[in-house]
Amino acid sequence: MAVDASSSSSSAKRPAYHLATELVHIDSDAVKDNYNAASVPIYQTATFKQHDADGSDAQYDYSRSGNPTRTAVEVHMAKIMSAERAFVVSTGMTALDVILRLVKTGQEIIAGDDLYGGTNRLLTYVSQFNGVKVHNVDTTDPAKVEEKLDPIKTRLVLLESPTNPMIKIADIRTIADKVHDVCPSALVVVDNTMMSPYLQNTLEMGVDIEYHSGTKYLSGHHDLMAGVIGCRTKEVGDLLYFVINASGSGLGPLDSWLLLRGVKTLGIRMEKQQSNAIQIADFLEAQGLKVHYPGLKSNPQYELHKSLSSGPGAVLSFETGDVGLSERIVESARLWGISVSFGCVNSLISMPCKMSHASIPAEIRKQRQLPEDLIRLCVGIEHVDDLINDLTNALEIAGISVKQPASN
Give dist(CA 354, CA 402) in Å, integer. Answer: 26
- Residues whose CB is less than 8 angstroms from the CB of residue 4 and which lie 6 or more positions away in sequence, other chains included: 65, 66, 241
Rounded distance, CA 313 to CA 23, Å?
18
Quick check: is 269 catalytic?
no
Distance, in Å, from the CA atom of 258 to the CA atom of 253, rounded to the nearest integer, reads 9
Please report which residue ranges of 232-378 form alpha helices under DSSP H. 234-247, 253-263, 266-286, 302-308, 323-332, 362-367
Given the residues 97, 191, 373, 390, select the one marked as catalytic.
191
Neighbouring CB atoms inside 10 A of 13's CB total: 12
Query: Distance (Å, rounded) from C-alpha 6 to C-alpha 9?
Result: 9
64 catalytic? Reply is yes
Per the residue annotation, which of 116, 198, 241, 293 is the catalytic one? 116
Say which of 216, 232, 269, 272 is annotated catalytic: 216
Residues written for the chain: 408
Say whether 216 is catalytic.
yes
Q: In sequence order, what are the residues at sequence separation of 6 or more whose Cβ sits closer than 8 angstroms to the Cβ of residue 308?
A: 161, 169, 171, 172, 173, 200, 205
Count Cβ atoms below 10 Å from residue 285 Cβ, excluding itself: 17
Is residue 44 within 8 Å of residue 113, measured between CB atoms? no
Residue 79 is among the residues annotated as catalytic for this protein:
no
Of 62, 64, 282, 328, the catalytic one is: 64
Q: Distance of CA 166 to CAs 102, 116, 172, 175, 315, Å?
A: 28, 10, 17, 20, 10
Which residues carry out catalysis? Answer: 64, 116, 191, 216
